[in-house]
């Protein structure tokens, strides 16, 4: 069972969701930058000037990950406004996360938007990026064999 109070559960769940989103966003930015540098070298050079500001491109994921925060249940509670979803114990009761059982239409839409924009689209972008890299490597390997 969850050993701490509800405030610690809320903070634990908020950190888990936020850092999970930051991690996936970091992987998405990294795959996109790799794709630009390998598949489109002319466009990939724009990252060279950006590297003066950010030593590693995946550090761009930190501000992007916090972009998802304004609709989180914790910030809604802190700002005393209505929230679409809540944090609570998971079904086994040993950890806390977003309550996935939607109790209203707004909560269902929030969970659906979270799934589409914060999981499905980044995963598809990663898949497309690495597929383009593999295709570019395969085409250039064939070109090298012909010469």
Number of domains in the chain: 1
Residue 89 included in any domain: yes
Name which of 116, 137, 100 is nearest 145 in CA terms: 137
Domain contains 81: yes
Q: Give residue 87's domain range.
A: 6-146
Please give the average per-residue pLDDT across 10-17, as a whole number.
Answer: 85
- List pLDDT tens digits, range 52-76: 555 555 555 555 555 554 455 555 5
Q: How confident is the model at residue 80 (pLDDT cuts 50, 70, 90)?
A: very low
Q: Is 12 within the bounds of a domain? A: yes
The pLDDT score that the predictor gives to residue 96 is 87
Q: How far apart are CA 29 and CA 13, in angstroms?
A: 24
Q: Classify the C-alpha dihedral 100-24-132-146 as positive or negative.
A: negative
- Residue 1 resides in a domain: no
- What pLDDT is attached to residue 70? 45
pTM of the model: 0.73
The percent of residues in the chain predicted with pLDDT above 90, rounded, is 16
Range of lowest pLDDT (24-28, 32-36, 104-108): 104-108
Tens-digit pLDDT profile for residues 108-139: 887 888 889 889 999 999 999 999 999 999 99
Which of 14-23, 24-33, 120-129 tops mean pLDDT? 120-129
């Amino acid at each position: 069972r969850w050993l701490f109070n509800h405030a610690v559960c809320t903070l634990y769940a908020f950190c888990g969701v936020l850092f999970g989103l930051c991690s996936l966003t970091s992987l998405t930015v990294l795959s996109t930058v790799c794709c630009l540098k390998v598949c489109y070298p002319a466009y990939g050079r724009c990252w060279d000037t950006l590297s003066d500001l950010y030593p590693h491109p995946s550090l761009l994921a930190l501000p992007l990950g916090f972009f998802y925060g304004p609709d989180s249940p914790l910030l809604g509670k802190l700002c005393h406004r209505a929230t679409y979803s809540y944090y609570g114990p998971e079904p086994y009761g040993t950890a806390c996360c977003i309550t996935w059982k939607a109790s209203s239409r707004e909560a269902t839409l929030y969970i659906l938007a979270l799934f589409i924009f914060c999981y499905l689209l980044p995963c598809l972008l990663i898949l497309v990026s690495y597929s383009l890299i593999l295709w570019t490597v395969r085409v250039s390997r064939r070109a090298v064999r012909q010469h």
